[in-house]
Structure 1
């Protein structure tokens, strides 16, 4: 979808676009989403602060206010994500495309940086991104890396995988390092077994992507990590983005801190 930023979010809000957001909103930060009752919000914020690599906190709503005023000039968290996952007592209950009827006055929305943000920079530097070129969702895996607990939130880090040619591996690491709000540099490169991944062709989330002959699988911390922690916390209700279906903000993708960009 080659549309201006406002048109992309408008299409999502109207329900005209419900697919993954890889490759959309060029130049602007994409974010993962977690929405929790206020009683769980402080512990979740601590969890993000203690695990900044998989959970780079970009924005937090006011309690009960669905407008993400620090991320854009008209971002409604209830409608502006292409698809949401709804968890009840820590278990995935269903996926929906609008959460207006689920929003309550005690909810707090969190936005966490997403690795989709640096993929344009990789492509511009001549590093192919297979899932973008083939219009699929990046493969994501549960790793063997423990996150730092906070209150009821804990669990293993989720990682996303992109396979690159050996000549591009250092370049990919250096480019992604420039995007601290989008998970930064990779956490692992090489044998997936080093992260406890038995079969890299069978992701836990997203779509399979090939590792070509001689290619190096590279793994980045992933914003699906909070969904694993939410399963452990067993909140009565929690709403997240459906993996691969992000919120596109008005924040420049190369920002080191979340500063709202002027948008005409």
Structure 2
């Protein structure tokens, strides 16, 4: 998707309706990152796991709301995440998924219909992509969106609060902001508590254990130009680190940067969509 054709499709989808974006993802014609897509709607990270581990994971999210802002939880075995959207099928509506087995990344796929289990529970967690539109509207250009890349993400030295087998360091995402507008960027993002809110750090990356911002652990490297300050937000990849530590027999997440786009308004303080659940799935 990084070629000229992929860039054209990305630019087309940036101007398209949520319905068109979701259909392109569901049909497999778009399989890249979702930064800048579905403007006006909350994007979500995913964690899908057997019900036997779901309560511990919910505790982990409750204890770590900054990197894990819980926005939705499915019924057991129901791939229709109806509290997040009236037409969401979690098995196909994310551009790419990571499959973990015994805590190790076993591979990435674009559809999980063939490995779906009747005991799976889906967790949707807020994503920092949601507040990026507000930053752009304020005249703060974002390099990764302008260049059709995935935001850089790093393992920090910030410990999360454990719950059951889930534990680990916080993952953070980085955006370079003009030094005169750092406080403004922090204030803008603070208004989106379901999307990680205000940054957890800015300035010297070594302050949170990052040795080299040109070598992200996930995503693509992005420059920090002269006169800009690296700002770091809590990131929804944090649960993937906790899942590695938990060594679950199977767990599915989004591939970093490849999010679920929901029907929830991006500026909602709490999820407000509440359609009638389906009788069968």
Smaller-chain TM-score bracket: over 0.9
Aligned partner of 1:95 among 104, 108, 132:
108
Determine if contact 1:143/1:159 at 8 Å carries over to the other structure. Answer: yes
CA distance in 2, matches of 1:261, 1:151: 30
CA distance in 2, matches of 1:118, 1:167: 19
CA distance in 2, matches of 1:261, 1:57: 16
Determine if contact 2:176/2:229 at 8 Å carries over to the other structure. Answer: yes
**Match status 1:190 vs 2:236:** no
**Match status 1:147 vs 2:160:** yes
- The alignment covers a number of residue pairs equal to 262
CA distance in 1, matches of 2:228, 2:256: 25
How much has 1:36 moved relative to structure 2?
A: 0.4
CA distance in 1, matches of 2:194, 2:29: 28
Q: Which residue of 2 aligns with 1:66?
A: 79
CA distance in 2, matches of 1:9, 1:107: 22
Secondary structure at the counterpart of residue 101 of structure 1 = helix
Residues 203-224 of structure 1 deviation map (CA, whole Å, 9 limit, x = unaligned) = 0000000000121000000000
Q: Which residue of 2 aligns with 1:219?
A: 232
Determine if contact 1:250/1:261 at 8 Å carries over to the other structure. Answer: no
CA distance in 2, matches of 1:234, 1:39: 13
Relative distance call for 1:42 and 1:8 in structure 2 (3 A) is: same
CA distance in 1, matches of 2:228, 2:36: 22
| Backbone CA RMSD of aligned residues | 0.9
Determine if contact 2:80/2:90 at 8 Å carries over to the other structure. Answer: yes
Structure 1 stretches of at least 4 aligned residues deviating more than 6 Å after TM superposition: none
Residues 92-131 of structure 1 deviation map (CA, whole Å, 9 limit, x = unaligned) = 0000000001111000000000000000000000111110
CA distance in 1, matches of 2:182, 2:272: 30
Structure 2 unpaired stretches of 5+: 1-12, 276-281
Determine if contact 2:96/2:258 at 8 Å carries over to the other structure. Answer: yes
Structure 1 unpaired stretches of 5+: none
CA distance in 1, matches of 2:186, 2:273: 26
**Match status 1:85 vs 2:98:** yes
CA distance in 2, matches of 1:143, 1:62: 33
Determine if contact 1:18/1:83 at 8 Å carries over to the other structure. Answer: yes
Determine if contact 1:162/1:217 at 8 Å carries over to the other structure. Answer: yes
Q: Which residue of 1 aligns with 2:50?
A: 37
How much has 1:168 moved relative to structure 2?
A: 1.4
**Match status 1:122 vs 2:147:** no
